[in-house]
Structure 1
Amino acid sequence: MAGRRRGRGSNAQQQQQAPQNRGRGRGRALREPAVFAKSTGYESAVPHEKLTIAQARRGTPANRPVRVYADGIFDLFHSGHARALMQAKNVFPNTHLIVGVCSDELTHKYKGYTVMTEDERYDALLHCRYVDEVVRDAPWTLTTDFLQKHKIDFVAHDDIPYTSAGSEDVYKHIKEAGMFVATERTEGISTSDLITRIVRDYDIYVRRNLQRGYTARELNVSFINDKKYRLQNQVDKMKETVRTVEEKSKHFVYRVEEKSQDLIHKWEEKSREFISNFLELFGPDGAWHVIQERSGRMLQALSPYSSPVGSPSTSPTRRRSGSPNSFPSSASASPPSSPSSPSSRSSRKKGKRSSLKAASTYSRHVQ
């Protein structure tokens, strides 16, 4: 029936006021939940005249909204339900949407067991933004008395024939009366699809709920399965721990490799720099050799080589100026100083010291 959409949560003491006493505009509808329909039906001071679809599409006065009815189971209320109700709410410019929800007893009889209780399903519809009024314990097949009681102008549902309760289409008489408006189903989502997913992944959801503190009794799980699931949870935790440690180890090794490569690169740069500086200083064309060469030339300039031993002490000119037969007497001629005499050694030391001092001064200036 009406796609028999399924829904959730209840508040039996929710507002019992009639919608005409609560003035639910669009802004208000987004701030407060919908209301339950009165058990006595809809009452209005304005006469409720029958509308045609053409009249409803043109628009009606604010005090005479078009009353559109959509019904279903609404178990596990989902986006497919909400989209169908959105279409029903917007089928006419001025629409008051009434949603009927079947009870657990009626649903279990004609369709099967529900996940959510009827009170939970009522509450889900009360908090849908498109709904203005909720009818509890809605009938499986719509009767003329029910339609008149709630002053229903049109019934909204998808156009696919709904076979149930021995009828090929429970909306056939509504369509024949010209009171039916069609909505489109949302493909890929339904209550049956959601239940199929849960059944398919049963073990995963049982293990998840055991981890969250539910007992095996609450989940209707045997003692053996309970222990099996808990053991699997422990194994998964260990696997996760191992993966975490492995990831951390990989990260650590990567960091060490990165640091070592960085250190090696810096060492190579420093080594090349050291070698370059060394060659620049001590190489064949380096500053050290240039300094040594210049120092050597300075020393040679300041301290020339001494004459060889036994060379004539007087120049040939001096010898020629004298008498050829005149030779200095041994008494008047002073003997040549011996290389090992104290006076010659002292003079040589002084000369060397002065030469070294001059070379040192020159080197400092060159540097």
Structure 2
Amino acid sequence: MTHPCETHYGNTSENDITLTVDGKDTYEEVKKSGRYRECKRTQGVSTTDLVGRMLLMTKAHHNYQQHTDNFGRGPKGLSPWTGVSQFLQTSQKIIQFASGKEPQPGDTIIYVAGAFDLFHIGHVDFLDAVSQLSEKPYVIVGLHFDQEVNRYKGKNYPIMNIHERTLSVLACQYVSEVVIGAPYAVTKDLLEHFKVDLVCHGKTEVFPDRDGSDPYAVPRKMGILQTMDSGNSLTTDGIVQRIIKNFDFEFISYVHVYGTCAECAINYSHKRSSYLWKSV
């Protein structure tokens, strides 16, 4: 039977093979109706891996070489070069995601900065709101390095490393450029270099710099700082809390992919209760 939605909407999926319980192609009907499109997934970026990082509270993904080596020693013998979760950043991969456009005369250059971890609809709504501040916006996103994000967010944040976060943000239609490893404090040099007209920040908490100073002191003094309300309350912490609330199910799924091991057992027994109460 054809689902009613198929007569009104198209269907888009990544290029993973998915089957129903009886072994049939999940998208068989929509393919027959000509309403199916397939998007090639980014090699090495795995949702299962991201969930595992949340549950095990590890920081290995902040150190790329250590992260890949650990997979090669896993109980299922996943090679760091052929496993499901190995991400290799290349200039060509960045080019595929980047808009490739330079700011044009009359563009309003808007700068925003942050972790943009687990890039989600809250981030998209924020960037959408920022882009609507001008008829010709040129939005530059400054991404903080993993160590900097971990300094002000703690635990094992960011869940996604700098390379993964870069591609996530570049893929957003509202983003024109990304500064990889942007300084935490928005400096005068940065503003002058990119000829920034406006600096925006969301309603989330602004953590002080290492010396206790306001990271937005310069644009605030210049009168070009604007606080934006995206109208969306979803945060990265909120997503992690959802995963933690389904801890048992997610853990079983993770072990099913990567196999049982001493580290999994230890983290499961010792960190389950401690992380649960910290996250609610």
TM-score range relative to shorter protein: 0.5 to 0.7
CA offset digits 1:44-84 (Å, max 9, x no partner): 8xxxxxxxxxxxxxxxxx62311111111011110000111
Does the C-alpha gap of structure 1 residues 162 and 67 become closer, same or farther in structure 2, counting only changes over 3 Å? same
Aligned partner (choices 120, 125, 130) of residue 78 of structure 1: 120
Q: State the distance in 1 between where 2:124 and 2:193 align.
A: 26
Alignment of 1:196-345 (within 5 A): 196-211=241-256, 213-217=257-261, 220-222=263-265
Q: State the distance in 2 between where 1:114 and 1:221 align.
A: 20
Displacement of 1:99 in angstroms is: 0.7
Residue 126 (structure 1) aligns with = 170
Contact 2:170 2:178 in 1 (8 A): yes
Q: State the distance in 1 between where 2:139 and 2:218 align.
A: 21
CA offset digits 1:314-360 (Å, max 9, x no partner): xxxxxxxxxxxxxxxxxxxxxxxxxxxxxxxxxxxxxxxxxxxxxxx
Aligned partner (choices 8, 13, 25) of residue 91 of structure 2: 13
Code of the aligned partner of 2:219: I
Residue 101 (structure 1) aligned with residue 143 (structure 2): yes
Residue 33 (structure 1) aligns with = 97
CA offset digits 1:289-321 (Å, max 9, x no partner): xxxxxxxxxxxxxxxxxxxxxxxxxxxxxxxxx
Does the C-alpha gap of structure 1 residues 160 and 16 become closer, same or farther in structure 2, counting only changes over 3 Å? closer
Residue 130 (structure 2) aligns with = 88
CA offset digits 1:176-205 (Å, max 9, x no partner): 211113310444410011111222221110
Q: State the distance in 2 between where 1:70 and 1:106 align.
A: 16
Name segments (4+ residues, structure 1) moved above 3 Å.
9-12, 14-17, 166-169, 185-188, 223-226
Residue 80 (structure 2) aligns with = none
- Give the 3-state SS of the residue equivalent to 1:156 in structure 2: strand
Contact 1:161 1:169 in 2 (8 A): no
CA offset digits 1:67-121 (Å, max 9, x no partner): 1111110111100001111111111111111111111122223332311111000
Displacement of 1:168 in angstroms is: 6.6
CA offset digits 1:6-40 (Å, max 9, x no partner): xxx874314888xxxxxxxxxxxxxx732589xxx
RMSD, matched Cα: 3.1
Q: State the distance in 1 between where 2:186 and 2:126 align.
A: 19
Does the C-alpha gap of structure 1 residues 157 and 122 become closer, same or farther in structure 2, counting only changes over 3 Å? same
Contact 1:80 1:189 in 2 (8 A): yes
Residue 359 (structure 1) aligns with = none
Q: State the distance in 2 between where 1:153 and 1:171 align.
A: 14
Q: State the distance in 2 between where 1:101 and 1:178 align.
A: 23
Does the C-alpha gap of structure 1 residues 194 and 16 become closer, same or farther in structure 2, counting only changes over 3 Å? closer
Residue 208 (structure 2) aligns with = 164
Displacement of 1:151 in angstroms is: 1.4
Does the C-alpha gap of structure 1 residues 75 and 220 become closer, same or farther in structure 2, counting only changes over 3 Å? farther
Higher helix share: 1
Residue 137 (structure 1) aligns with = 181
Higher relative contact order (CA 8 A, sep 6+): 2
Paired positions, count: 180
Q: State the distance in 2 between where 1:70 and 1:192 align.
A: 20
Does the C-alpha gap of structure 1 residues 224 and 161 become closer, same or farther in structure 2, counting only changes over 3 Å? closer
TM-score, normalised to structure 2, is: 0.56
Residue 230 (structure 1) aligns with = none
* Structure with bigger gyration radius: 1
Does the C-alpha gap of structure 1 residues 63 and 194 become closer, same or farther in structure 2, counting only changes over 3 Å? same
